Structure 1
């Protein structure tokens, strides 16, 4: 039985990766410091012999006994609320955490996949974004702690590949959604759905003309798995290329949830990308991958999940208002 270490295992994507690798017959070691993760996302796995969990911060030395075949590094805050609240930890997990896990992969002779992000493109001047685009990032802006952590992560990963011959993979993840998203993480979909479920008006930042492209979690996990098992070492975009404006998306949410709220507008946060759309040509050609789940189907599954949350979970939702922190 092959063994895989998944960091950020109690998070949104990490927990779905644990499920996928269990299904594929792996022995899965989950690791998380639970700053943004939640054990309830993986509690269904604790009864399984092929799953074990380490409560550990990867910015500290990482030790895993025995052989290890694969490492997937998904430990990082991934939402604006999180990385604006804990900016130093965000930088440390991208730098120190990645360094520790690359060292572990070198020691174990394991293949390692690093979770990067579309945020490496910043507020892009090229549309859609190809992997060859270097990005437009404000290094000292409030979002820079996340953007630059991920850019450094890619650089050190390629350095380990070139200098040590380490087997590395880099996935650039675009907006992903589905069950187990945190309702209070500040991202567009949980923010809108949380407001709808609480009977609040939906908050759109800017005039709503900015775009995003949303990929359902099952499709995202499939792309990540295929990339890990491929022979391709350079970054690959994994996301849904079907673009929608935030205003149109808010109207979709109102229709889906059957609510009567209206859309209200607030100032656009500093450095918030105006467009976001992946070019997935490489994923199609190299991995034979493209998303399959239509947005209407995926959004219904996501809304059904959020409806199961308790009243307490709904009420503790943190509002997605960054304007006071992001003034120039």
Structure 2
């Protein structure tokens, strides 16, 4: 009997539309000889399931079922394609755990931890995983610009602490622009992180659980036409994403080792995509994404393709791993 799979997409953040594209791609490629996929749109206004004609049916949040054309549909598994809150910060993971419905991404604690850039880097630091020099600010804190710049220097990056797709990020080159960058970040989150500039090669590394084993995918080198890998570079063609990365075998081994270490230390499962800057061959972590983009053009699917894994195989493996939780 085929399992009913709910592909959740959308969410409550600025990444809503990107998540819809990811979810639609999962829906397109999920193996219909083994599963019956359903698209479930999560938004602040409503949770709805779409039928083949895109008609909406309300989701019963008490048990995450839906009455579709007179038939009550229960889901054996949830494929999580929600970027940002509530799909990447642990809220949906905790909800499904309470309902005893397996889902494809990491558990709620790991999701909450990795979604918080400051906490993630602090937890990984004792394991020797390097990162930029940083300064933290919360909404309402006094802003001492001299102290900030004394610690992180110029140029520096001001980032929303809990946001993705480069929303809320500014590269600050001049001291007089620091406050504007801080105000921009606070529009996305009430916590921000200000980091020193790391001058090196940027790489992205996918680590996934695939057919029961932890697997590091081929590394992607990021070459942005802009000052950094911002929204325009990521989604509007203003960058080169080169897989496999043009780095030495020694650098590749180091990055793979650090990415796998982070995945294992955090007891991750499902997909992850971590960003690093290589400085003199040493990886410095920027962040980890636990529901990365899954469109045809997204980095993790590119890496899977380079590893000889089709999208149908990639997505089906995630579902199979989740179903093992039952």
Q: TM-score range by the shorter chain?
A: 0.3 to 0.5
Structure having the larger proportion of residues in strand: 2
Structure having the larger proportion of residues in helix: 1
Structure with bigger gyration radius: 2
Taking structure 2 as the reference length, what is the TM-score of the superposition?
A: 0.35
Taking structure 1 as the reference length, what is the TM-score of the superposition?
A: 0.35
